[in-house]
A and B are shown apart, each in its own frame.
Chain A
């Protein structure tokens, strides 16, 4: 009963790089704390706490979360509705009828561009749903398909 399409394999790489970036910030803070500890004779447990965080965070944000998230992420665009499944510890399933879709966009940040990926943003009158990291061609095709299927009248918000 799960939606059938997965997002791009390369999404995993992108998420891992994102994790690496956020970890490096933590590491910089750790080093700063270490320096301050030595200069101002602080107690060492503050630094200890940062060290523990610096070890746990990479495991979570680089190894565990991206892979779980990627395994969970599925989507399917049928002719009457869009069905999205996401989540890490909480499985989240969203249904958007085609007639509710107001417009579709594809977006690309620098990281996604490097890997030839794009995210697809689907807006209804009240909500915004994002399918992250699809292959560029696939994203474009999806955008065309959805905007062709979605024929929304102005009146029927």
Chain B
């Protein structure tokens, strides 16, 4: 276990892919955007590209060659770097979770990726991008064993059995997302918008290469067929994109299971790309319940865990879905099996009626200039924009209706809405600071804006409710302040 080892050579390929991903945008800027440059001989561009590719491959190979890992004297050691030699030594008791996941490439070669997470998110953690499964399990078992000798930090023994042992997983699994539910989740998610905008951005990049004009020249009669046909085509295209986006979400979250052990929550998911996340329960800072425009009327919600950890390199680890889709009425029971500390059934205090006018006013103030501009520049159709006004008022009303707060025992719950309704539930001992603000206008109405910050990922998550009764703000404040230093624990 102690002599330095290299990763599987497939890591070279992974390095190349990673570099290519990072280089896509500069590459487009250099190669695609300028198009045909006058005065530069035609062979220059291919040569430059060839050199870049060659450098990429050499760099990837050298990085693989230089990367070694070993386990010595209770430390996990990584030495890496081509020009600048880096040594990273991680003490076992600083390791708080070990995640094993498989990307597509790893699966082809029957390898896994091992992620060693430490407490504190700012520094990146140790990632072994391609090793044999048996090796990963050996490392995992070794570190677990070493750690369990340390009474200070008991690690459950059955963790390494969870992986690759379906029966064990079934028996202790507390939450499973069925396939039909997943389809509903994917179909009602906002991923479609991301997909469409991505597609548009992509096409506009290749605008200069694809001779749209020439393509459409032959189709002038086709354009002549009128707007109806084009509209239908556009709708069909949108539908196709929608279906694709939905499918990609389903593939990403397929076989979603949550398993709870004494100390940890293990979330695994994925069809082509398996991922497993381990979250130590004592790192959980709060939970966030999101109900978007489509799901809220259907009584459905998505639940996230806010936890102190994850790393900047891995965006997935910063926002963790606990339940991709769950009926709100089942939420309480399901959560009890996983994080019994958090109550979702507490009494909510809504914000006072006199706040409604402020909500409406805020929206109207934004919308009036927009409507004005549309009416002025877009006559006569611009007058249609007047319809935005009732829409804005309705939106303001929804925001007013969904805002509120609640306190029960050691829990604070803050709900607010922008488009989706967000409910943040936090334990008192996890709230880092509480702020309340009042503007001159709010002061006149005896209202204030309350916000509470908790740590989430490497940054923070803030729950905020605008226009709460000022009396209530003082109530929350006195609830928050420690009576004695003792009750922090």
Contacts of B438 in A (CB 8 A): 90-91
Q: Which of A89, A126, A156 contacts B440 (CB 8 A)?
A: A89
Contacts of B461 in A (CB 8 A): 126
Contacts of B119 in A (CB 8 A): 154
Q: Which of A80, A90, A126, A157 contacts B439 (CB 8 A)?
A: A90
Q: A99-B482, A126-B454 are in contact. Are A92 and B432 (CB under 8 A)?
A: no
For chain B, the bracket of interface size reads: 20 to 34
Judged by a CB distance under 8 angstroms, whether B298 is at the interface is no
Judged by a CB distance under 8 angstroms, whether B161 is at the interface is no
Judged by a CB distance under 8 angstroms, whether A87 is at the interface is yes
Judged by a CB distance under 8 angstroms, whether B282 is at the interface is yes
1/0 per position for A40-56, CB-CB distance to B under 8 A? 00000000000000000
1/0 per position for B412-451, CB-CB distance to A under 8 A? 0000000000000000011111111111100100000000
Main secondary structure of the interface of A (DSSP, over half): mixed
Contacts of A100 in B (CB 8 A): 431-433
A51–B139 Cα distance when bound, in Å, is: 70
Contacts of A127 in B (CB 8 A): 432-433, 453, 460
| Contact between A96 and B433, CB atoms less than 8 A apart | yes
Contacts of B477 in A (CB 8 A): 95
Residue of A92, A97, A98, A156 with highest tally of chain B CB at under 10 A: A97
1/0 per position for B263-289, CB-CB distance to A under 8 A? 000000000000000000011010000
| Contact between A157 and B481, CB atoms less than 8 A apart | no
Residue of B119, B435, B438, B481 with highest tally of chain A CB at under 10 A: B435
Judged by a CB distance under 8 angstroms, whether B204 is at the interface is no
Judged by a CB distance under 8 angstroms, whether B459 is at the interface is yes
Q: Which of B282, B433, B440 contacts A94 (CB 8 A)?
A: B433
- Across the interface, name the chain B residue whose C-beta is closest to A95: B434
| Contact between B435 and A97, CB atoms less than 8 A apart | no
| Contact between A94 and B434, CB atoms less than 8 A apart | yes
- Across the interface, name the chain A residue whose C-beta is closest to B429: A156
A92–B119 Cα distance when bound, in Å, is: 32
- Across the interface, name the chain A residue whose C-beta is closest to B285: A157
| Contact between A124 and B436, CB atoms less than 8 A apart | no
A129–B435 Cα distance when bound, in Å, is: 11
| Contact between B433 and A124, CB atoms less than 8 A apart | yes
A124–B460 Cα distance when bound, in Å, is: 10
Judged by a CB distance under 8 angstroms, whether A141 is at the interface is no
Contacts of A89 in B (CB 8 A): 439-440
How far does the Cβ of A9 sit from chain B's closest Cβ, in whole Å? 26
- Across the interface, name the chain A residue whose C-beta is closest to B119: A154
**8 Å CB interface, A101-157 against B:** 124-127, 129, 154-157
Judged by a CB distance under 8 angstroms, whether A76 is at the interface is no
A97–B431 Cα distance when bound, in Å, is: 9
A94–B480 Cα distance when bound, in Å, is: 12
Q: A97-B481, A99-B482, A126-B460 are in contact. Are A157 and B283 (CB under 8 A)?
A: yes
Contacts of A80 in B (CB 8 A): 481-482, 484-485
- Across the interface, name the chain A residue whose C-beta is closest to B153: A155
| Contact between A93 and B437, CB atoms less than 8 A apart | yes
Judged by a CB distance under 8 angstroms, whether B311 is at the interface is no
| Contact between A92 and B435, CB atoms less than 8 A apart | yes
Contacts of A93 in B (CB 8 A): 435-437
How far does the Cβ of B105 sit from chain A's closest Cβ, in whole Å? 35
Residue of B432, B434, B455, B456 with highest tally of chain A CB at under 10 A: B432
How far does the Cβ of A75 sit from chain B's closest Cβ, in whole Å? 13
Judged by a CB distance under 8 angstroms, whether B149 is at the interface is no
1/0 per position for B318-332, CB-CB distance to A under 8 A? 000000000000000
Q: A98-B485, A99-B488 are in contact. Are A157 and B455 (CB under 8 A)?
A: yes
**Residue ranges of A at the interface with B (Cβ–Cβ < 8 Å):** 80-81, 87, 89-100, 124-127, 129, 154-157
Would you mind naming 12 contact pairs between A and B with Cβ atoms under 8 Å apart?
Answer: A80-B484, A90-B440, A92-B436, A93-B436, A95-B477, A97-B433, A99-B482, A126-B461, A127-B432, A127-B453, A156-B489, A157-B455
**Residue ranges of B at the interface with A (Cβ–Cβ < 8 Å):** 119, 282-283, 285, 308, 429-440, 443, 453-456, 459-461, 477, 480-482, 484-485, 488-489
